[in-house]
A and B are shown apart, each in its own frame.
Chain A
Amino acid sequence: MKGVKIGLEIHEQLDTESKLFCSCPTDYRDAEPNKSICPVCTGQPGSKPFGLNEKALNAVIKIAIALNCKIIVGKPVQVRRKHYIYPDLPSGYQRTSESIGVEGELNNVQIHEVHLEEDPGRFFLREGLVDLNRSGTPLIEITTDPVFDSPPHAREWLEKLASILDYLNVTKKEEGTMRIDANISLNNGNKVEIKNINSFRNVEKALSFEITRQEDLIRRNQTVERETRHFDEKMILTSPSRKKETEEDYRHMPDPDIPPLLIKKELVEKIKKTLPELPQSKAARFVKLYKLSGQNAENIVSDPYAADMFENVSKFVNPILASNWFVGQLKKTLNYNNMTLRGSKITEKQLAALLKMLEKGKITERAAELALREMVLRPADPKKIIENLGLLEFGDLNTIIKEILDKNEKAVNDYKTGRKEAFEYLVGQVMKITKGSADPEEIRRLLKRRL
């Protein structure tokens, strides 16, 4: 698409035990509304922020390093107040730090800056209710330059970013904690911001709708207003926000209650040492060490859990065979069941045993696939699964073939005299006995070997 410029602002909750400026726990999801609160995070008169949660700061530094940012070292970083009135914001201002990392880059996308801020509570407009359990939870905000040229580009990159965050293991794991603001302009026109989108798929949908909407306005010689819009998931369209954010002046002011942060070089060095191997270098290593295709390697490393399991399984079976199963049948089966590998509870021992049986020719691919489907839902020893499902091991298939050949001397002779249909008849006989659990290709191969 020509002239499309998209920038993203990503908010993700950091995985700390307590809130950013008080000691309330952050695992508010299981708590009753307004139970995980104190005078600080509810903005009671006279309350003050405690010291900034160091774990949250360290998490932001870690992410900023992984995103190749320059960390603001040795220079005071202020925590500022961003003023606005909304029922979910108990103090009437949100505390947000100045940039902690700047000028980063990930997959050819420039990262403008990274900083720390506090999450507001939640306001249920229709019911008129407020739940402040979330209020004060630490958030990282990552802002990119407006460099995406299409909605799919933005979505693909977000998936890369999510994978990196997954590796760093300092953000919340629960679904739906990431919120994205996307801004978009066409042909250097006015910028429209779509706020608070809750999934990558919706980012793509919202942006696609915006492009169509703006193109339509331009075609009709109407101006695209500079405004904030909201994405309606059900209607798949964007509409102007109630709050006229662009006109608002947040009156940013350093928070006198919080002394400026001073990030030391030694701290950055120390955090650098805790960085895990990140997906890009891991993929390169997989290609070199295990001779995987680049595509398979990239696919596997996008999930750190899968990458670790793959490496362990590869100790027992051929890595290429393993990689094909990871990106093929395993992924397909998990997706079909709407599960993640971690969520499935399959152990690497079970998976390795299954692939080992396949590798040794004890079961057919077809049987392995059927066993895997069962294993994803009810993880167990593959031998037992195969037995329970009545799937035959490969050794048995040979016995069956021998029996069929013994019984059908006429067909064998017909085949040997050049009658092709006799072969298909034999295949059919084996299929009949194995009740479809054997792979027809496998049967053909074994038959040919015997004849």
Chain B
Amino acid sequence: MKLNEKVNSYLANISKSKLNAFISINKHAENDAERIQKKIDAGKAGRLAGYVFSIKDNIAVSGMRLTCASKMLENYISPYDATVVKRIIAEDGLIIGKVNMDEFACGASGETSYFGPTLNPHDTGRVPGGSSAGSATSVAAGLSDVSLGSDTGGSIRCPASFCGVFGFKPTYGTVSRYGLVDMAMSLDQIGPVTKNVSDAALILSVINGSDKMDNTVTGTQQDYTKFVKQKITGVKIGVVEEFFEGCEHAIEKNVRDGIEILKNEGANIVKVSVPKTAIAVPTYYLNMFAEFSSAMQKFDGLKYGFRKDGKDINDTVAESRSALGEEVKRRILLGTYITMKEFRGKWYSTALKARETIRHEMIQALKKCDLLIGPTMPFTAFKLGEKIKDPVEMYLADILTVSANLSGLPAASIPLNVSGLPIGMQLHANAGEEVKILAAAAAYEGASK
């Protein structure tokens, strides 16, 4: 099928879809498709020619809205491209639109968007997971080929797991964050959401590598595509027993079956322990709250975004911030509280220390093996409205995903071949060893078909 035909069919499906996956559509998508098709016909197209991307709406695309699914930025049009977007366009990837998410990435269900919840394509009564809800939904429902999401504490892997797609969070500092609206600067990474491992490897190969606009990216650009077919014979995979504690039975059973498949592919399965998983959630939330409260300072209604005038400057800022949703406000307030002079010793400093402990433990565990394995989520997609009233219960959903972010390690969620609601199996590797994850994920993918 020609690219313009494919784009037209996607556009038709998106407009018919009830999943609420998209916030904005690229008005130039059809023109872009024609332009890229011409390059394909001439044999001069880039590596991503033919791919139709959806982009999470916290990543800047020049000339398109950048809403972060918030009333605050409902009408904000980005004046510039994120580095990842620039690189995708340079390789002739086509951007069809911007997708829904939890407001400012605050949520694990996709329900906190100002534009309403995104629905799970496998069961529209259930959540797609968050915060990259639209990324996973659009790929799973066939509304785009691939997507870019962002992952601060599991925001790519959680919806990938709930929607049955592949989601990859790279090592911190692998992909430029320039143009990604901050949630927690030391935890955020952009990554691909795809139907298969090789697409993710290709996208990763295009978007990774140093960028003078983001200081925290260090390495030169890598090509991951050639590693996807690598055999995993002798690769040591550590099963983290703590990751199974409190998991739904079906999840434990299916993930263990998945591990069996990797064993049959030649992997050497060992047992490892990461006991500090028990404190991962509070550690993550305190670190994230602190950074998030700093990141959100710029949304004051004075330069751009929602504005409601008050009696003086401070009042205007306060009034304008009423545009923010409940969960966003809760996190700003908690983050402000724990970084205040009076309380930082008790909270923020302790959280930083706990983060170091977890990182140390994860790295120790990865000295004993090449990969760590377990479930991505402790449960399958829950019902809309089931957890949204109880923030603490919602936060607990992140227990298995946050350690990768706190440690800066790469991690991926691989869709297991199951009937019924999708289940994700999670792999962690040492910093910079994304190829090991890609190879193991591809081995599972090949063997489970």
Contact = CB atoms under 8 A, between A and B. Distances in A.
Interface in A364-380: none
A125 to B, nearest CB: 9
Interface string B175-208: 0011111101110000000000000000000000
Interface in A35-74: 39-40, 42-52
Interface size class of B (residues with CB under 8 A): 35 or more
Interface string B305-321: 00000000110010000
Contacts of A51: 212, 215
Which 7 residue pairs spanning A and B have beta carbons closest together?
A: A92-B297, A256-B185, A256-B186, A251-B339, A46-B179, A45-B181, A46-B60
B340 interface: yes
A20 to B, nearest CB: 12
Given A46-B182, A253-B294, A256-B185, A85 B214 contact: no
A122 B344 CA distance: 32
Given A44-B80, A249-B340, A81 B213 contact: no
A379 B336 CA distance: 62
A80 to B, nearest CB: 10
Interface in B277-305: 290-291, 293-294, 296-300, 302-304
Interface in A17-45: 39-40, 42-45
A93 interface: yes
B66 A46 contact: yes
B174 to A, nearest CB: 15
Interface string A185-227: 0000000000000000000000000000000000000000000
B300 A257 contact: no
Contacts of B303: 42-43, 90, 130
A47 B78 CA distance: 10
B298 A48 contact: no
A90 B299 CA distance: 9
B79 A48 contact: no
A263 B81 CA distance: 33
A259 interface: yes
B297 A257 contact: no
A45 B80 contact: no
A46 B294 contact: no
Interface in B369-391: none
Interface in B50-66: 58-60, 66
Nearest to B305: A45
Interface of B: 58-60, 66, 68, 73, 76, 78-80, 82, 177-182, 184-186, 212-216, 290-291, 293-294, 296-300, 302-304, 313-314, 317, 336, 339-342, 344, 348
B297 A46 contact: no
B78 A256 contact: no
- Size class of A's contact patch? 20 to 34
A91 B341 contact: no
A259 B178 contact: no
B340 A258 contact: no
Given A249-B340, A256-B291, A85 B297 contact: yes
Interface of A: 39-40, 42-52, 81, 83, 85-87, 90-93, 130, 249, 251, 253, 255-259
A48 B340 contact: no
Contacts of A251: 293-294, 336, 339-341, 344
A49 B299 CA distance: 17
Given A251-B336, A251-B339, A48 B313 contact: no
A259 B294 CA distance: 17
Contacts of B302: 87, 130
Contacts of A91: 297-298
A50 B215 contact: yes
A40 B211 CA distance: 14
B290 A85 contact: no
B216 A257 contact: yes
A45 B75 CA distance: 13
7 contacts: A44-B79, A46-B82, A50-B213, A87-B302, A251-B344, A257-B185, A257-B216
A58 to B, nearest CB: 18
A280 B82 CA distance: 52
Contacts of A87: 302, 313
B300 A85 contact: yes
A95 to B, nearest CB: 11
B79 A258 contact: no
Contact of A45 (B68, B215, B339, B341): B68
A285 B409 CA distance: 61
Given A48-B178, A256-B216, 4 more contacts: A48-B177, A48-B215, A249-B340, A253-B294
Nearest to A84: B297
Contacts of B317: 85
A44 B305 CA distance: 10
Contacts of B348: 253
Contacts of A257: 185, 214-216
A147 to B, nearest CB: 27
A416 to B, nearest CB: 89
Contacts of A39: 79-80
Nearest to A81: B294
A255 to B, nearest CB: 8
B178 A47 contact: yes
Contacts of A83: 294, 297
A43 B181 CA distance: 11
Contacts of B293: 251
B353 to A, nearest CB: 14
B294 A93 contact: yes
B216 A45 contact: no
B212 A46 contact: no
B148 to A, nearest CB: 13
A85 B302 CA distance: 10
B313 A45 contact: no
Nearest to A40: B213
Contacts of A85: 297, 300, 313-314, 317
A99 B180 CA distance: 30
Nearest to A257: B185
A87 B304 CA distance: 12
A81 B291 CA distance: 11
